[in-house]
Amino acid sequence: MCKPVPISEVFNQPDTDRDVCIRGWVYRTRSSGSIVFSIIRDASGIIQVTVKKGLLPEADFDAAVTASIESSVMVVGKIAEDKRAPGGFEIRASKFKLIGPADPFPITEYQSEELLLDKRHLWIRSREQNAIMKIKATALEGAREWLKENDFVEVTPPIFTTNACEGGVTLFKLDYFGREAYLSQSAQMYLEALIFSLERVWSLTPSFRAEKSRTPRHLTEYWHLELEEAWVENDENMRIQEDLVTAMVEKVLRKRRAELELLKRDIEPLKAVSPPFKRMKYSEVISLLRSKGFDIAYGCDLGAPEERAVTANEYVPIFITNYPKECKAFYMKEDPEDPKTYKCADLLAPEGYGEIIGGSERETDINKLIERLDALSIPRENYEWYLDLRRFGSVPHSGFGLGVERVVRWICGVEHIREVTPFPRTVARIYP
Ligand code: ATP
Ligand code: MG
């Protein structure tokens, strides 16, 4: 057998004189008497293989007949143009080996969402899932490149923790050798500690939120890309966010056109993404929402319907700044120009997708932090280490957390967040 090549390479160099070898899985197959048409897929794409009795050993022809959907196979043959084949080329087989036969595949066309989730370990082979996973990897690659160019150091914060940075309601509690601990909701506080050594840091970790409501944008376990920056105030923090998000979108546009097309994603809105992003104050958003007929009180956090209304007709993400203190976490910095609010910003993805980043400048005044912990009846002992960061050479600093699946959901233009993670974890799902 010759050296196997990725299927995409066959299309890139359709040299019709040479034998090529591919290996992969049967995506579709039909046979009639002395001919088998088998569409083979590998990680890179699909191609039609035509197998004609008499043009290859009898055993190979029989293998092609028996190779049912999702059987793994190896094929050698010549490339030939064929207008009817997907992509305009096919392979005319001179060898066809069955590597791993497949039982009848449980996923056929038009399956229920439930079945696709039960069979997720098999459904991730689908072309849509393949495209989404590639786009996710490329978006992260874009982020990593940007972070490297901008002198951020990658760090590795813990997942077991005793902090409840984002509030007690969504904590996953666990028994840590007899002590109560939690799965991390955010690496933020550890990143804050690390900036006193490294100044500009980032981490990519799973975050855990016991989200009991079923929404198309909440997972119980998601990938969280977090940055923390010494000597940075909230304005610059927002500039960092718009540059980072733009770098992620641009990388996908440059490298993943075919995948976006497969997902039928209209790329015009994505092409419009470039800094500066629009900025609106929370109070302006409330007025805007009221003018659109929302019955919303000042002081409420924005939910999905409100965020959808604000972003539905936009192509570029929007920052919402200056949330009132009562709807955000205690560690944010009070805005001296508007002390009822924090120097914070949520970044909302356009086209109705809503929040993808939560960020803020951090409070440096230790007395304010202590007051807020007391007001929330949070035992100060748990946060002594965090308060120490204000006792030893505190500096202005800011940071943010980006939900990787939220960003990928928007870039891919898919409705439900579970579609952008291979093994989604939700209230109802922990298997497979
Ligand atoms: P939301 O209001 O949408 O629940 P949040 O205010 O709880 O979000 P943050 O605590 O600011 O979110 O977390 C930072 C980022 O992490 C969010 O902007 C979002 O992109 C992402 N994120 C938060 N919760 C989830 C979740 N349950 N599933 C997926 N991503 C999430
Ligand atoms: Mg939340």
pLDDT tens digits, one per residue of 249-287? 999 999 999 999 999 999 999 999 999 999 999 999 999
| CA 372–ligand 2 middle distance (angstroms) | 20
* Cβ(81)–Cβ(89) below 8 Å: yes
* Cβ(398)–Cβ(362) below 8 Å: yes
Same domain, 395 and 274: yes
CA distance 88 to 100: 28
Q: Which amino acid is at 12?
A: N
Domain region containing 274: 117-420
Same domain, 350 and 232: yes
| Domain of residue 152, CATH code | 3.30.930.10
pLDDT value, residue 213: 83
Instruction: Provide φ and ψ at 392, rounded to 5°.
Output: -125, 85
55-64, Cβ contacts within 8 angstroms, sequence gap of 24 or more: 55/92, 55/93, 55/94, 56/93, 56/94, 56/95, 56/96, 57/95, 60/93, 60/95, 60/96, 60/97, 61/36, 61/96, 63/96, 63/97, 63/98, 64/31, 64/36, 64/38, 64/93, 64/96
Same domain, 71 and 165: no
Same domain, 76 and 170: no
User: Do the domain assignments include residue 75?
Assistant: yes
CA distance 410 to 415: 8
Closest residue by CA, ligand 1 atom 23: 403
Q: Which residues, judged by CB distance below 6 Å to any ligand atom, belong to the binding site of ligand 1?
A: 166, 209, 211, 218-219, 222, 224, 355-358, 401-403, 405-406
pLDDT value, residue 65: 98
* Cβ(184)–Cβ(226) below 8 Å: no
| Domain of residue 58, CATH code | 2.40.50.140
Q: Among 100, 128, 150, identify where a domain stops.
A: 100
Nearest residue to 73 via CA among 32, 121, 123, 36? 36
Alpha-helix residue ranges (DSSP H) falling in 21-78: 58-66
Domain count, the chain: 2
Q: What is the pTM of this model?
A: 0.97
Same domain, 92 and 229: no
pLDDT value, residue 15: 84
Residue 284 tokens read as 């302006």
pLDDT value, residue 1: 62
Low-confidence ranges of the chain (pLDDT < 50): none
Instruction: Provide φ and ψ at 178, rounded to 5°.
Output: 90, -10
pLDDT value, residue 339: 96
Same domain, 344 and 398: yes
Q: Which amino acid is at 241?
A: Q
State the sign of the Cα–Cα–Cα–Cα dihedral 379, 385, 391, 395: negative
| CA 111–ligand 2 middle distance (angstroms) | 31
User: Do the domain assignments include residue 365?
Assistant: yes
Same domain, 94 and 178: no
Pocket test for ligand 1, best of 171, 184, 207, 310 (most atoms within 8 A of CB): 207
